Every structure is written in C-alpha cells, then in structure tokens.
Amino acid sequence: MIENEEDYELPVVPEEDDEDLIDKHEFIVDKGQEPYRIDKFMTDRIERISRTKLQAAANAGTLTVNDKIVKSNYKIRPGDKISLIITKPVGYVKMEPENIPLKILYEDEDVVVIDKQAGLVVHPGVGNFSGTLVNALMYHFKSLPNNGDETRPGLVHRLDKNTSGVMVIAKNEFAMSHLAKQFFERTIDRNYVALVWGDFDEEKGVVDVNIGRSHRQRQQQEVFPNGDEGKHAVTHYEVLERFGYSSLVRCKLETGRTHQIRVHMKYIGHTVFSDERYGGDKILTGTIYSKYKQFVDNCFSICRRQALHARSLGFTHPQTGKRLSFETPMPTDMEDVVEKWRKYAKLLEIQK
C-alpha cells in the first residue's frame, strides 16, 4: 500500500477516452541529419520510452518511415517522415499487487481477455490508490508491459468503474503495440448492451455528435452538436427489446470517448437506466403513481449502477493474425432488472 500519498504524482483527470491511452508521434528529419539509428533518434525525443519498447513497436508494425514499416535499426535520412503509434505513460503511482478475483475468458502468451465486474476501477486516479484492475493484474500476471511506470500495465483500453464486460490485456510489449494500433485505427469491434429509458420510434440509428468535458459538471461529459468543442464521437445503436417505458439496446462503438454511450443515449432522450451521474436513477418515463414508482424503485435496488455491459469484443491476435471474438452474458443484476421490465411489459399488454 502507499504509505504517503503525497510522495506520488497522480493523473489529474481520473477518466479518459480509450483513444487518449494511445499516442501518435510524428517527426520530419532535418535536412542536415547524419545517418542515425531510428531507435536512438526516437528515445532522444520521446519521454520515458525505452529502446526495447521501440523495438516491440517496430516488430508490431507501428513504426513507419514514409508510410513504410521499418525495423528499429533503420538509419534515418534527411526528409524522412517518421510515425509511431504507441501507448503512452501518464504518471507514476507506486502500486501493490492485490488478490482481486478476475474472470478470465481467454489467455495465451500474448493476451488475456477478462470479463470485468461492475464496481472495479480499471486504473489508479484521484482517490483510487488501490483496489483497481491494475492491482489485480499485478497479482495475477507477472512482468506485464508498463510504459516505464506502473499505472497501466498491459492496458490499451478501459471501461467505466460501474460498467461490466469484456476487456483485452496485453501481456508483452509486442502485443501492446499491436493492440494499440488496432484501437488507434478503430479496427476493434466493441458491442455493448444497455437498458435505457423510453421507447424508440426507430429500430436502429447512429449518433454522430462531438463529446467533451462539461463546463458545468467537471465529472460529466456532454455533447457539442455544433462540433466547435469536444472530440468526434460515433455510436451505432439497435433496439433489441421494447418494454413500454424502457428499452434494451445494442450499442456499437466507432470511437472510444469517455462515457460515450451514456452521453449519446442521454442526448437522444434515452438515458441509461440507473445511471446516477447522468440522471438515469430517476423516473424519466411513465406516469408517476404509487405502484409504478414502487416497481421502478425495486428495479433500482436490483441494479444499483448504470445498466451497461460491454457484451463483446473482437480483435486480431497480435501473433497469429487470427480474428478473435469474445462475448459474455449480462451479469445477474442487469439480467434480473431486464427480466422485471420484460414481465412488466407483458402486464401492460394484458391491461390494454
């Protein structure tokens, strides 16, 4: 455990976009540059990056010169355009391994795929010094790639604390670089299932609206429809079931912004059920009368977090090149609350 928290620098912002975990560095070599190994050239210009990590990035195909993949011993020339995609370090926090149970869906020498439980913070941030997924990873897996610090070993993406579901972890530098490139180029398939307030007029749709940190509530994100602020964000959604006053939807991410599904669903009038941060923990649809209110309160007591689950994840295996896909069912709290809504919807049909 950390004895003195003041001795360690923590990331200022506790939650970030998935794509903020990945950096793209670009350089143009000066005209007077003498022939020089590219790994030495890059370590001179990028903080906290080792030649070992650069070699892994080169082997994974994320180091290019003039849009062509090169090895770490490539000799740069004047005018070369260098590009590197790599996960980025954020800060240093002294971390300790903790025996936190993990549900492992798949594991080999390169990657491990887990079904993250709701309530588990992914990585340390302000107020979270222990009890995170990182602490668990340090206990269950040794020598994960860590970017020169211990804040995010093996991490190439994240889930919100109270969102459950599938995550992939890199077990070596090569896999981390390869997966980082896939996330950067948006070739990862990510599908979520969410219980949201209200019924839909349509069967499916797309929300394409910028998302950024709220000016009024710094712990929240908000949409910027004019595109003058925030970052480009795209969510595809499809209605799976209708329950009258709520709906079960599938959401496919095209981008990976902080709270993206939660913010986009609220923007189109379908706030995620029981989402305290965005107002989903209040009755938003339906007539408020005693029996209905009691029913909804019972639902809130069953699912005490946003009803959002990362159901499936698809990616290309770093070593074999095989396309892998993993899917997990909704956890018990979500399944139970969906079943209650399902029964309630049948009751509404009977009463009509």
For 210-244, the pLDDT digits (tens) are 999 988 887 789 999 988 899 999 999 999 999 99
Claim to verify: residue 176 and residue 245 sit in the same structural domain: no
**Whether residue 13 has pLDDT greater than 70:** no
Claim to verify: residue 79 and residue 102 sit in the same structural domain: no
Catalytic positions, written as ranges: 160
Claim to verify: residue 240 and residue 156 sit in the same structural domain: no
Last residue of a domain, one of 87, 120, 144: 87
Whether 140 is covered by a domain: the verdict is yes
pLDDT at position 17: 56
Claim to verify: residue 78 and residue 106 sit in the same structural domain: no
Claim to verify: residue 195 and residue 334 sit in the same structural domain: yes
What global pTM score does this model have?
0.81
Structural domain count, the chain: 3
Last residue of a domain, one of 126, 156, 185: 185
Claim to verify: residue 137 and residue 155 sit in the same structural domain: yes
Show the domain range for 212.
Answer: 190-312+322-351
Counted residue by residue, the chain has a size of 352
Mean pLDDT of the chain, nearest integer: 87
Whether 133 is covered by a domain: the verdict is yes
Secondary structure string (H, E, C) spanning 189-217: EEEEEEEEECCCCCCEEEEECEEEECCCC
For 169-201, the pLDDT digits (tens) are 999 989 999 999 999 999 999 999 999 999 999
Claim to verify: residue 123 and residue 196 sit in the same structural domain: no
- The mean per-residue pLDDT over the stretch 256-282 comes to 96
| Exposed e or buried b per residue across 23-59, where buried means at least 16 C-beta atoms within 10 angstroms of its C-beta | beeebebeeeeeeebbbebbbeebeebeeebbbbbbb
Claim to verify: residue 149 and residue 293 sit in the same structural domain: no
Whether 98 is covered by a domain: the verdict is yes
Whether 285 is covered by a domain: the verdict is yes
Q: What is the CATH number of the domain that holds 223?
A: 3.30.2350.10
Q: What is the CATH number of the domain that holds 83?
A: 3.10.290.10
pLDDT at position 314: 98
Claim to verify: residue 295 and residue 152 sit in the same structural domain: no
Claim to verify: residue 155 and residue 209 sit in the same structural domain: no
**Pairing state between β 81-87 and 22-28:** antiparallel
